[in-house]
Amino acid sequence: MRKYYVDNIRWITVLLVVLYHVIYMYNGVINAGVIGPFHEVQYQDALQYLLYPWFMVILFVVSGMSSRYYLENHTVKEFVAGRTRKLLVPSTIGLFVFQWILGYFNMQMSHAFDTMPNTVPKIAMYFIMVLSGTGVLWYIQVLWILSMVLAVVRKWEKGKLYRLGEKANSLVLVILGVVVWVFAQILNTPVIVVYRFGIYGISFFLGYFVFAHESVVERLSKYWHVLAVAAIALGCGYVYYYFGENYAAEPVVNSPFSIAYGWIAILAIFAGMKRWGDFTSPFAAWMTKKSFGLYVFHYLPLAAVAYWMKNDTSLSALPSYLIAGVAAYAGGFLLYELISRIPVIRWCVLGIKKKEKHVSQ
């Protein structure tokens, strides 16, 4: 039986990821690989501060839960094979086949081509664009690694940790935020800051061992209103305190304030969605099937259109945001529908052997 609130959390979060990237493209805080700000102070950038501490963390929690649900009816061997095809293939082979195009635009926006000597061989330039095209696929790269670790851990723990996780009450879930903070301090790559293996790893395994228990989330849902108020208060305080600083880098990204806000927001979302969002609809069912494709493809049309507007138009902020937003959402869906219908290419870019039913990541 599908957990509709889990599906809804996933696709709604993906929609927010796309919105975040639209704002991010014109943000005034992080300069690398973006168009840049319209004004010295941009209050719309506050959306980035509200989303960044929790939106990718919650996707790893959901992915851990989905892994548990999948393994209840499949073998570890099937799990490893399926995750390798759906995650590793698109984030490696897919870079060489398709995502290098995004790498081209990322390098254009970063003015990387301007600093490269003309003597660089074309094949070397292609490989550089391949690496630059990783973009949002870092998420499925990290998810594949965690999935392989899970395959080993599952054989070792023999269900003991899973049974222990069922005992977690709401107070324990809040206290687990301290554990999340501890893991947020470790296994972080120095230059490419999105590879935060510590916090994403513990979130994935908490999803698998704790949140996958329906009883745990059911108990949490009784406190949805308290958690919602706490998350809103912490979010407002977090934005006020850190606005203008780089929220994606240390010391802000791993600060106690950032982790506390992010973790309480995640608990509030699970509690609220279990209480009010455990249902489906034609649109929700459609988004459940398409959200992974939107995630994979949205950044290319966003980057391409934003780069075009920067060089060939003089549009102000509002129309630029609107056009970029339409490009990201509509372009992401259209690319998914196109690529998913092309044999071989769809395997390389999406891990699809043939037109198949949706499989939760």
What CA–CA distance (Å, rounded) separates 305 from 322? 11
Q: What is the 3-state secondary structure (H, E, C) of the chain?
A: CCCHHHHHHHHHHHHHHHHHHHHHHCCCCCCCCCCCCCCCCCHHHHHHHHHCCCHHHHHHHHHHHHHHHHHCCCCHHHHHHHHHHHHHHHHHHHHHHHHHHHHHHHHHHCCHHHHCCCCCCHHHHHHHHHHHCCHHHHHHHHHHHHHHHHHHHHHHHCCHHHHHHCCCCHHHHHHHHHHHHHHHCCCECCCCCCCEHHHHHHHHHHHHHHHCCHHHHHHHHCCHHHHHHHHHHHHHHHHHHHCCCCCCCCCCCCCHHHHHHHHHHHHHHHHHHHHHCCCCCHHHHHHHHHHHHHHHHCHHHHHHHHHHHHHHCCCCHHHHHHHHHHHHHHHHHHHHHHHCCCCCHHHHHHCCCCCCCCCCC
Mean pLDDT, residues 235-258 taken together: 96
Q: How confident is the model at residue 1 (pLDDT cuts 50, 70, 90)?
A: confident
How many CB atoms are closer than 10 A to CB 220? 23
Q: Is the peptide bond before 37 cis (omega within 30 degrees of 0)?
A: no
The residue among 330, 299, 328, 315 whose CA lies nearest residue 33 is 299
The residue among 294, 305, 253, 293 whose CA lies nearest residue 109 is 305
- Residue 23 belongs to a domain: yes
- Residue 97 belongs to a domain: yes
Q: How confident is the model at residue 2 (pLDDT cuts 50, 70, 90)?
A: confident
Task: Encode burial over 43-63: b for 16+ CB neighbours within 10 A, e otherwise.
Answer: ebbbbbbbbbbbbbbbbbbbb
Which structural domain range is residue 92 located in? 4-350
The pLDDT value recorded for residue 113 is 87
Which pLDDT tens digit goes with each residue over 331-352? 999 999 999 999 999 999 999 9
- Residue 358 belongs to a domain: no
Which pLDDT tens digit goes with each residue over 277-293? 999 999 999 999 999 99
Question: How many domains are contained in the chain?
Answer: 1
What CA–CA distance (Å, rounded) separates 79 from 307? 40
Which pLDDT tens digit goes with each residue over 176-231? 999 999 999 999 998 888 999 999 999 999 999 999 999 999 999 999 999 999 99
- Residue 357 belongs to a domain: no
In whole numbers, what is the pLDDT of the chain averaged over residues?
95
- Residue 71 belongs to a domain: yes
- DSSP lists the bridge partners of residue 196 as 188
297 contacts 17 by C-beta, under 8 angstroms: no
- Residue 356 belongs to a domain: no
Mean pLDDT, residues 24-43 taken together: 91
- Residue 74 belongs to a domain: yes
- Residue 56 belongs to a domain: yes
293 contacts 333 by C-beta, under 8 angstroms: yes
What CA–CA distance (Å, rounded) separates 329 from 297? 9
| Gap between the terminal Cα atoms of the chain | 17
